[in-house]
């Protein structure tokens, strides 16, 4: 006669019993899936549970994204070299952000939305504000400056991440590239302009755009200049342009 209990007196797991898992398991499989492909269903499938079971731990798709996004952000380290100028530091920040996000598909889009959304994001913002205040910026100006650089960088990174994602469908990506090239070549002005542009890598393009933008921002907002002063100058410039038009 068989027994429904083992020698310890514990009944064996039944086929209908839900799998036991906790928030750490959700984070583990969510990180493995990545933010680009993250869904409650994907996490449930990876854990071999129902989506309803996942919802008991995570309040919906947005909550799941925040949970995994903050866990990923905790890995981002932003060291500060005191010998760097503000522009050099911000360029280094943008470069590190690029390497980090492209290695974690979908994270650029997460960073763009209501940042910071949790403790990990707040930590990173505090690190950057501290780095700029050490270079003579008031906290508000520091936050505005690093936030502007992050927004510019993430806009470029989100577009690059999207292109890389589409490149997975090689045939469709190749056809889109061919169509774009044909459109350019059909216009004489665009054709001449395109043929004179040197080929640059994605790394080179990102560095060129970001370092140039950062140089302009730091020129407009050097250490010690009040942020309100820059904003007032900007509003006056906008008002003058509106009157001209």
pLDDT of residue 193: 82
pLDDT of residue 3: 45
Query: Could you name the CATH architecture of 86-244?
Result: Orthogonal Bundle (1.10)
pLDDT greater at residue 96 or residue 4 = 96
- Could you tell me the pLDDT band of residue 8, with boundaries at 50, 70 and 90? very low
* pLDDT, average across residues 41-54: 95
- Could you tell me the pLDDT band of residue 184, with boundaries at 50, 70 and 90? confident
- State the Cα–Cα distance between residues 201 and 103, nearest whole angstrom: 17
* pLDDT, average across residues 188-211: 88
pLDDT of residue 168: 58
Total length of the chain: 245
Q: Where are the domains of the chain?
A: 23-73, 86-244
- Could you tell me the pLDDT band of residue 148, with boundaries at 50, 70 and 90? very high
pLDDT of residue 15: 46
pLDDT of residue 10: 43
* DSSP letters for the chain: ---SS-TTSPPPPPTTSPPP--HHHHHHHHHHH-GGG--HHHHHHHHTS-HHHHHTTS-HHHHHHHHHHHHHHTT------TTS-HHHHHHHHHHHHHHHHHTSTTHHHHHHSSS--SHHHHHHHHHHHHHHHTTT--HHHHHHHHHHHHHHHHHHHHHHHHHHHHTTSHHHHHHHHHHHHHHHHTSHHHHHHHHTSPP--HHHHHHHHHHHHHHHHHHHS-TT--HHHHHHHHHHHHHHHHHH-
* pLDDT, average across residues 174-200: 80
* pLDDT, average across residues 156-183: 75
Which range, of 74-83, 185-194, 204-213, 216-225, averages the lowest pLDDT?
A: 185-194
pLDDT of residue 197: 83
For 13, counting Cβ atoms within 10 Å of its Cβ (0-12 exposed, 13-18 middle, 19+ buried), the class is exposed
Q: With 70 as the cut, is the pLDDT of residue 157 above it? A: yes
pLDDT of residue 111: 86
User: Average pLDDT, whole number, for the chain?
Assistant: 87
pTM for the model stands at: 0.79
* pLDDT, average across residues 133-154: 94
């Amino acid at each position: 006669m068989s027994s429904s209990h083992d020698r310890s007196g514990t009944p064996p797991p039944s086929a209908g019993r839900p799998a036991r898992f906790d928030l750490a398991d959700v984070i583990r499989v969510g990180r493995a899936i990545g933010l680009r492909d993250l869904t409650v269903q994907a996490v449930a499938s990876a854990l071999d549970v129902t989506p309803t079971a996942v919802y008991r731990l995570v309040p919906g798709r947005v909550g799941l994204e925040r949970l995994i996004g903050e866990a990923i952000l905790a890995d981002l380290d932003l060291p500060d070299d005191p010998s760097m100028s503000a522009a050099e530091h911000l360029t280094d920040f943008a470069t590190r952000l690029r390497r980090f996000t492209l290695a974690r598909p979908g994270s650029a889009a997460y960073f763009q939305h209501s940042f910071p959304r949790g403790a990990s994001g707040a930590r990173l913002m505090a690190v950057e504000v501290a780095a700029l205040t050490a270079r003579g910026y008031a906290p508000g100006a520091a936050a505005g400056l690093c936030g502007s650089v992050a927004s510019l960088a993430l806009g470029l990174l989100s577009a690059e991440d999207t292109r890389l994602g589409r490149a997975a469908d090689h045939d469709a990506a190749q056809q889109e590239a061919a169509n774009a090239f044909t459109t350019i070549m059909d216009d004489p002005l665009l054709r001449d302009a395109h043929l004179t542009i040197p080929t640059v890598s994605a790394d080179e393009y990102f560095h060129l755009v970001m370092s140039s933008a950062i140089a302009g921002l730091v020129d407009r907002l050097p250490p010690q200049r009040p942020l309100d002063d820059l904003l007032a100058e900007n509003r006056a410039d906008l008002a003058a342009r509106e009157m001209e038009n």
